[in-house]
Amino acid sequence: MPEKALLSLIVLALLRPPAAPAASIPVVQYTEGASQAFARYLAGLQSASAWTVESIEIEAALPKLKKQGRLRAIRRITPLGEADYQVLESTGDATVRREVIARYLSSQAAAKEIPAASVAITPANYEFRYQGVGKIGETLAYVFHIRPRKKRQGLMNGELWLEGQTGTAIRQSGYLVKSPSMFLRRVEVTRDTVLSQGVAHMRLTHLSLDTRLVGLADLTVTERLLR
């Protein structure tokens, strides 16, 4: 189905990227702070690990059809790397829950079959251009424009925001450079990562899909680490 392929690519575009080979790491020549943050970002990819237990809340809407749905669940990652969901609440329009939310969840399993390295935000796939300093709330970040080296499905043109002290990616945003379906005009993605004492504890992802059949489709995913 085109929608399932789309969601798989979106999930892949936001996966935690693997470490880049040392030979591919560029030198950022703008400011000392930006250079250090960029180096820490690349180094941190080597030690990144998936959350094994988390709460997840998904809100989806088809504004043109005035339909919306919501799901709350606990997601656990099994020793085999598969996601197991304990549904706490499922409300709203049945079509939205079945065709948008359920497809998003199933796309995560499908994404495992495609190498994450092919869409990871690393120098192997992207060109990085330093933009300047920004703030999200009280958090200082160094902002880089990212552009794919090749126009390939699953890659996006946009921005990468790196927290100043740790180099953690606290915002990834942009649009997919290649539509995975003839039924889609444009796909926009924004993921914000919230830190507590330098450690990620919440991710907020917003997807905006401009479809040819039903207009805009919005999906907001909130993930919180459970300790």
In which residue are the tokens 């300093």 written?
A: 133
Residue 20 has pLDDT above 50, yes or no: no
Per-residue pLDDT at 218? 93
**Domain coordinates in residue numbering, the chain:** 2-225
2: confidence class by pLDDT, cuts 50, 70, 90: very low
For 109-119, the pLDDT digits (tens) are 666 666 778 88
Cα 182 off chain centre by? 22
Q: How many CA atoms lie within 13 A of 175 on its CB side?
A: 11
Residue 65 has pLDDT above 80, yes or no: yes
For 177-216, the pLDDT digits (tens) are 987 677 778 889 999 999 988 888 999 999 998 888 888 8
Q: Across residues 69-79, what is the average pLDDT?
A: 92
Per-residue pLDDT at 3? 44
Query: What does pTM read for this prediction?
Result: 0.83
Per-residue pLDDT at 34? 92
Q: Which of 8-12, 121-125, 215-219 has the lowest mean pLDDT?
A: 8-12
Per-residue pLDDT at 4? 45
Higher pLDDT, 116 or 61: 61
Residue 32 neighbours by CB distance under 10 Å: 8
Q: How many helices (H) and strands (E) does the chain have?
A: 4, 10
* Sheet (strand 215-225) strand order: 83-92, 67-77, 53-62, 215-225, 199-211, 184-196, 169-176, 156-163, 139-148, 126-136
What are the helix (H) ranges across 73-221?
Answer: 94-96, 102-111
Cβ atoms 226, 55 nearer than 8 A: yes
Please report, to the nearest 10 degrees, the dihedral formed by the alpha carbons of residues 130, 131, 133, 139 taken in order: -80
What is the token pair recorded at 75? 């997601």
Q: Are strands 83-92 and 126-136 parallel, antiparallel or unpaired?
A: unpaired
Residue 102 has pLDDT above 80, yes or no: yes
